[in-house]
Amino acid sequence: MNSKKLLFPYVLVTPAVIITVLIVFIPIIETSIMSLFNYVIWKPKDYKFIFLSNYIKVLKDPVFWISLKNTAIWVTGTVSLQLILGFVTAMLLNRDFWWRGIARSLILIPWVTPSVITALMWRWMYDGNSGVINDLLVRVGILKEYFPWLANNSTALGSVMVALMWQGFPFFSIMILAGLQAIPDSLYEAAEVDGATPLQRFTMITLPMLIPILFTSILLRIIWVANSMDVIYVMTGGGPGYSTYTLPLYSFIKAYKFMDFGYASTLAIFLTLFLVAVVAGYVVKVLKSQGSME
Amino acid sequence: MRRRIVRGLFTLHIPLLVIVLFALAPYIWMFISSLTPEKDLYTKEFHYFPEHPTTENYFRIFSKINFTSNIKDSLIVAFSTMILGLGISVTASYSFSRFRFFGRNFLLVQFLVINMFPIVLLLIPLFVIMRFLHALDTHFALIIAYSTFTIPFSTWMMTGFFNAIPRELDESAQVDGCTRFTAMTRVIIPIAMPGIAATGIYIFITAWNEFLYAAILTGTHVKTIPVALQNLIGEYEIAWGLLTAGGVVSAIPVIILFFFIQKRLISGMTAGAVKA
């Protein structure tokens, strides 16, 4: 009876644990093993153990370094854009007005939009011959003639970042709005009695109270944006040249187009290591700055 | 009074309206383009409202490519992923919510970390495994692939929903003659049903939207909507009329489903973060 009681919680989690071991952990181990092999799917005869050769090859690969640089720009740029727009939206939605419910619902639409549709819509709007963005900019007088946003080396990455800002800013709005609503009104009332200006109320109450939620949501977004490459893939396929290659995209292309699974696995492992390093660095930095504040 | 209204206009209503328009603009443009005849899309003259509005793109998407079977494939995959995901995670999350057992925190953290792994890390070995099992280009391959992220996610989500139900209910059910197991199946799970349904719909949406796994693991016999739409992008030519019509058709069910669950889903997602 007693041992049966003790076992019950384990019995309930067993299916989930077994499945995740089978479909997540074993495959990841397989990736690390594959990274030590020369493994091109359509060249089965060349399959052999090459130890760390793939890793050395990666470090000498100029495309890897370009992709790494692009990944850094992509993550910092996209997360900042999403955060700024999301923050402004949340501050506005935190006010009391009659169409607030509708506004909040409509703003969530980009967030549930399938990545492929996001990419296609923006690619169509950016189009160099019949894109609506070009037409608007020419009408307003900012541009003299149509510009091929996605086909130009210096604008392609930025243009894709704007599309991803569109898709991701609702996430920040929801999280920050939840944070704002959790701040007790009494704090603001007390500050008003003490004669604090609106700016002081923002920097002394709103921001500090939001720190935990900002921390969590920025962290989640960094990971998500770093990994996401479906929008880039459909919008530019990495081009022109290598100007929109990011690390996950490079790995995906190596696997999908070139069927070079050994090399693609190695790139995936590098990406994972970088992510772990960035996340750990971020956590340590935030914890330190919080420690110094107290 | 009047100054306050004017101020509200500039500090609240206009900026927010601009943001809402920004959120909707791509959809508005996609919808307008989908009603424009294909040849009018590329003329030099620009029209914000089609001169000859037509629904031909919507008919062509069904006649020209096999869109009905794409919808069927998407439905099969999304629905099965939902059933599998819920079935596996419901008991696990109940257990995480109700019992404090050795290894609980370790398992919970592990489910959280799985959600952060890069897709490529799993995509590559899953392709090799499915190839070995001769399961490439089947619904099965996609259902398994999607479960790699839906099971951990829904386990977390539903643990939160179960936590919101007082434990006293389990105890009184057991006093009334339920066993531990029937207290879960007959009392707690029915109470948690709205949360479970929201999680299920969320799984359905993610599976319906997914593209990368679908592109690499399937594509010939089984072809979900995102892959079918992406295939319309040719090397030199893109059929924007078809693409925009297909985009409207595939995005609308997702948006409608999402509106049903948004409140519950958001409260589930933000609850953990606010507390932390």
For the stretch B206-258, pLDDT in tens is 999 999 999 999 988 999 999 998 888 876 678 888 889 999 998 988 898 88
12-51 of B, contacting A, C-beta below 8 A: 12-13, 15-16, 19-20, 22-24, 26-27, 29-30, 33, 41-43, 46
Residue A90 CB coordination number (10 Å): 24
Residues of B in contact with A132 (CB under 8 A): 29, 46
ipTM: 0.87
CATH code for residues B64-275? 1.10.3720.10
Give the percent of chain B with pLDDT over 70.
96
Domain boundaries, chain B: 64-275
The residues facing B238 across adjacent strands are B233
- Mean pLDDT, to the nearest integer, of A5-28? 89
Mean pLDDT, rounded, for A142-158: 88
Question: Does A5 have pLDDT greater than 80?
Answer: no
**Res. A256: pLDDT tops 90:** no
How far, CA to CA in Å, does B274 sit from each of A179, A212, B110? 6, 7, 21
Looking at beta carbons, which pairs linking B28-33 to residues 24 or more positions away fall under 8 Å?
Answer: B29/A121, B29/A124, B29/A125, B29/A132, B30/A117, B30/A121, B30/A124, B30/B244, B30/B247, B30/B248, B31/B244, B31/B248, B33/A124, B33/B240, B33/B241, B33/B244
Residue range B142-172, pLDDT digits in tens: 999 999 999 998 998 888 888 888 888 888 8
Asked if residue A166 has pLDDT above 60, the reply is yes
User: Are B46 and A255 within 8 A, CB to CB?
Assistant: no
Indicate yes or no: CB of B274 within 8 angstroms of CB of A213: yes
Rounded CA gap, A80 and A260, in Å? Answer: 34
Fold for domain A37-293? MetI-like fold (1.10.3720)
Task: State whether residue B266 sits within 8 Å of chain A by CB.
Answer: yes
- Nearest chain A alpha carbon to B159: A13
Residue B109 sits at the chain A interface (C-beta within 8 Å): no
In angstroms, how far is CA B227 from the centroid of its own chain? 16
* Whole-angstrom distance, CA of residue B118 vs CA of residue B108: 19
If you ran DSSP here, which 8-state letter would residue A40 be given? B
Does position A293 have pLDDT exceeding 70, yes or no? no
Q: In which band, very low, low, confident or very high, does the pLDDT at A57 lie, cut at 50, 70 and 90?
A: confident
For chain A, give every domain's residue range. Answer: 37-293
For the entire predicted model, the pTM comes to: 0.89
Q: Per residue in A34-54, pLDDT tens?
A: 888 888 887 777 788 888 888
3-state secondary structure of A38: strand
Is a pLDDT exceeding 60 seen at residue B201? yes
Residue A255 and residue A261: Cα distance in Å, rounded? Answer: 5
What percent of chain A lies above the pLDDT cut of 70?
A: 97
pLDDT of the residue at B50: 78
Do B23 and A106 lie within an 8 Å CB cutoff? yes
Q: What is the mean pLDDT of chain A?
A: 88
Per-residue pLDDT reduced to its tens digit, A216-248: 889 889 988 998 889 999 999 887 989 999 999
Count CB atoms within 10 A of the CB of residue A266: 29
B276 confidence band (pLDDT: 50, 70, 90) = very low
Interchain proximity A234–B151, CB inside 8 Å? no
Residue B2 has pLDDT above 80, yes or no: no
Give the pLDDT score at B267. Answer: 79
Is residue B270's pLDDT more than 80? no
